[in-house]
């Protein structure tokens, strides 16, 4: 049976429970333990797939095609765990399961209630995370203690300790110790109130992770411990750091690894965090620097592109470079032109997205990258826009995507009526519906690379597998026309029907991919395409330095 760590948050949202949970996972892996992680979210949406990026940040996609909360991206970046449909449950998903069982007659006429039916369903969801005999299951509870939406999840984890044994469960609570500038001191009262709320629910935290912008003095830790009914060594300072990848090192310095070992009766080795120390060193003391312009339409909320931002940092780590991210609203380019925003860029990237807003600005940015020979990386929609730009300005076609212009003369990007699903081995139809506009290609699919291309040089292997989240595809009717003018289709599906990667001849580095490589990048294993893109963006600087 695995040991379970439940992580809750108090005082305010956005304290970083996801990072804390992921860092604990990294710390435990460094002690030789196998770890799996799970996020329980209190909102009523069945999954994050229908949520606006402005509302909830990016949608993270797993290999099995599950659309999940962005915190699962943190889990994969910090640990070797790979997420699936069993690693993210929402209130909507839990209630949907219970209602389905009730309609089917599974409850044999019982009155269906929050306790025990909803809480039992939550407990079953928690158990489902352990799909491979892991040593530790880390479960993050979304929201903040005191929110009405979180109560069923908190009741479920309170009960969980009685089902699996007290020695197999640990409760960690992330809270805030703010510094009040006018008073010139740290304040512990918010933490005390948060812990009191948790105890009223019936959960006594075993560990407190105190988010603070400065070290906690011993007398402050002692005060918190006394008022929260904890030993002083159970009060851990979660201090602000320059990079999130430093958090495992901070937790180690605070003695959290020893505390977890003692509380859960673990027999483990001293954690080896040298690989994380190396990552932090490269981030803090880089040899080179690269300025990357990211042209999108969700730039007002950085969490909309969280995995992308981190993958670019990973690309910098692989090249010993600091990556400076310059976020450019595509609509600003439409209004003011590309040169005003791109003139200092060492590389230009257009990420994925949906909808027509800002499309012409993205296309103009791509034209600028192509004509000025600036390294370009297009992801999903960024690849499709690159195809449209090339079709218009090089091939002289009246081109667009049918997503934006249903009656366009040259639909170089379109919604395929039928396609071969390599994951199921079946021919499938794109059935339109009023809510979503079509069935998406979700999850991991194989791709065959062409020798001698930038893609092949980056990966170093012939066949790859990458995660998708899109509806529209490249229209093969235009493949020969575009190829004749210099477009290279460097990655295709095994049957050759789906274009996965395109490049341009005569350009230093210009690549678009239909998938989302950012979902598989990790700081200790940077994704090959991000490594290559950042490498291309600093090539001249590297040559000058040498």
Domain(s) labelled CATH 3.40.50.880 in the chain stretch across 286-545
Lowest mean pLDDT among 18-22, 246-250, 298-302, 392-396: 298-302
Average pLDDT, the chain: 92
**At 173, is the secondary structure helix, strand, or coil?**
strand
**What tokens appear for 449 in the block?**
């690379």
Report the C-alpha gap between 424 and 403 in whole angstroms. 26
3-state SS of the chain: helix, strand, coil percent to 5?
40, 25, 35
- Assess whether the previous peptide bond of 374 is cis (omega < 30° from 0): no
Distances (CA, A) of 332 to 177, 338, 384: 40, 9, 20
Q: Is 163 among the catalytic positions?
A: no
Q: Which of 66, 228, 380, 513 is catalytic?
A: 380
Report the C-alpha gap between 402 and 411 in whole angstroms. 6
pLDDT tens digit string along 415-441?
Answer: 876 666 666 677 666 544 333 334 788
DSSP 417-469: SEEEETTTTEEEE----TTTSS--EEEEEEEEEPTTSHHHHHH-SSEEEEEEE
Domain(s) labelled CATH 3.40.50.300 in the chain stretch across 3-278
Q: What is the mean pLDDT of residues 41-54?
A: 84
pLDDT of residue 431: 44
Report the alpha-carbon angle 257-258-262, nearest 5: 120
Q: 3-278: which CATH architecture?
A: 3-Layer(aba) Sandwich (3.40)
pLDDT tens digit string along 68-83?
Answer: 999 999 999 999 999 9
Q: Which of 74, 468, 516, 527 is catalytic?
A: 516
CB 53 within 8 A of CB 101: no
**CATH hierarchy code of domain 286-545:** 3.40.50.880
Q: What is the mean pLDDT of residues 246-262?
A: 96
Report the C-alpha gap between 351 and 379 in whole angstroms. 5
Distances (CA, A) of 472 to 381, 421, 457, 512, 537: 9, 14, 27, 14, 29
Q: Is 513 among the catalytic positions?
A: no
Top-confidence range, 115-124, 297-306, 408-417, 536-545: 115-124
The residues, ordered by sequence, that sit 6+ positions from 208 with a Cβ below 8 Å of its Cβ are 172, 173, 175, 191, 195, 224, 228, 230, 234, 235, 236
pLDDT of residue 304: 84
Q: Is 380 among the catalytic positions?
A: yes
Q: Is the pLDDT of residue 204 over 90?
A: yes
The number of beta carbons lying within 10 Å of the beta carbon of residue 217 is 11
pLDDT of residue 423: 63
């Amino acid at each position: 049976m695995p040991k379970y760590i439940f992580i809750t948050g108090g005082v305010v949202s956005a304290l970083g429970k996801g990072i804390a949970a992921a860092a604990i996972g990294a710390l435990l892996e460094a002690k030789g333990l196998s770890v799996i992680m799970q996020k329980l979210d209190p909102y009523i949406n069945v999954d994050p797939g229908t949520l606006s990026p402005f509302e909830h940040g990016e949608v993270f996609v797993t290999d099995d095609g599950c659309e999940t909360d962005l915190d699962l991206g943190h889990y994969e970046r910090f640990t070797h765990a790979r997420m699936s449909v069993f690693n993210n449950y929402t209130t909507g998903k839990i209630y949907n399961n219970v209602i389905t069982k009730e309609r089917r007659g599974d409850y044999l006429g019982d009155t269906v209630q929050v306790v025990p039916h909803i809480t039992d369903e939550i407990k079953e969801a928690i158990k489902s995370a352990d799909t491979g005999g892991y040593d530790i299951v880390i479960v993050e509870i979304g929201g903040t203690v005191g929110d009405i939406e979180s109560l069923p999840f908190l009741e479920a984890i309170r009960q969980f300790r009685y089902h699996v044994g007290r020695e197999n469960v640990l409760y960690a609570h992330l809270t805030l110790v703010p510094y009040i500038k006018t008073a010139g001191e740290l304040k512990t009262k918010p933490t005390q109130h948060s812990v009191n709320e948790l105890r009223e629910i019936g959960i006594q935290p075993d560990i407190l992770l105190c988010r603070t912008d400065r070290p906690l003095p011993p007398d402050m830790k002692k005060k918190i411990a006394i008022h929260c009914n904890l030993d002083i060594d159970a009060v851990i300072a979660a201090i602000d750091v320059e990079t999130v990848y430093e958090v495992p090192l901070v937790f180690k310095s605070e003695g959290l690894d020893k505390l977890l070992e003692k509380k859960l009766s673990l027999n483990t080795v001293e954690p080896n965090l040298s690989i994380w120390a190396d990552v932090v060193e490269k981030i803090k003391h880089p040899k080179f620097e690269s300025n990357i312009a990211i042209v999108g339409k969700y730039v007002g909320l950085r969490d909309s592109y969280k995995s992308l931002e981190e993958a670019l940092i990973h690309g910098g780590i692989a090249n010993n470079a600091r990556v400076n991210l310059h976020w450019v609203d595509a609509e600003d380019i439409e209004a003011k032109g590309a040169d005003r925003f791109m003139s200092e860029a060492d590389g230009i990237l257009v990420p994925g997205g949906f909808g027509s807003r800002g499309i012409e600005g993205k296309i103009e940015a791509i034209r600028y990258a192509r004509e000025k020979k600036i390294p370009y990386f297009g992801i999903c929609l960024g690849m499709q826009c690159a195809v449209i730009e090339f079709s218009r300005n090089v091939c002289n076609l009246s081109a667009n995507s049918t997503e934006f212009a249903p009656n366009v003369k040259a639909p170089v990007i379109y919604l395929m009526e039928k396609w071969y699903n390599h994951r199921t081995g079946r021919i499938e139809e794109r059935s339109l519906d009023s809510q979503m506009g079509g069935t998406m290609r979700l999850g991991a699919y194989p791709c065959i690379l062409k020798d001698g291309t930038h893609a092949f040089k980056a990966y170093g292997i012939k066949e790859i597998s990458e995660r998708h989240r899109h509806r529209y595809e490249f229209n093969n009717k235009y493949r020969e026309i575009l190829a004749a003018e210099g477009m290279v289709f460097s990655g295709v599906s095994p049957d050759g029907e789906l274009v996965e990667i395109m490049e341009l001849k005569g350009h230093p580095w210009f690549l678009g991919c239909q998938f989302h490589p950012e979902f598989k990048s990790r700081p200790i294993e940077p994704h090959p395409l991000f490594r290559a893109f950042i490498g291309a963006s600093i090539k001249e600087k590297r040559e000058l330095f040498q």
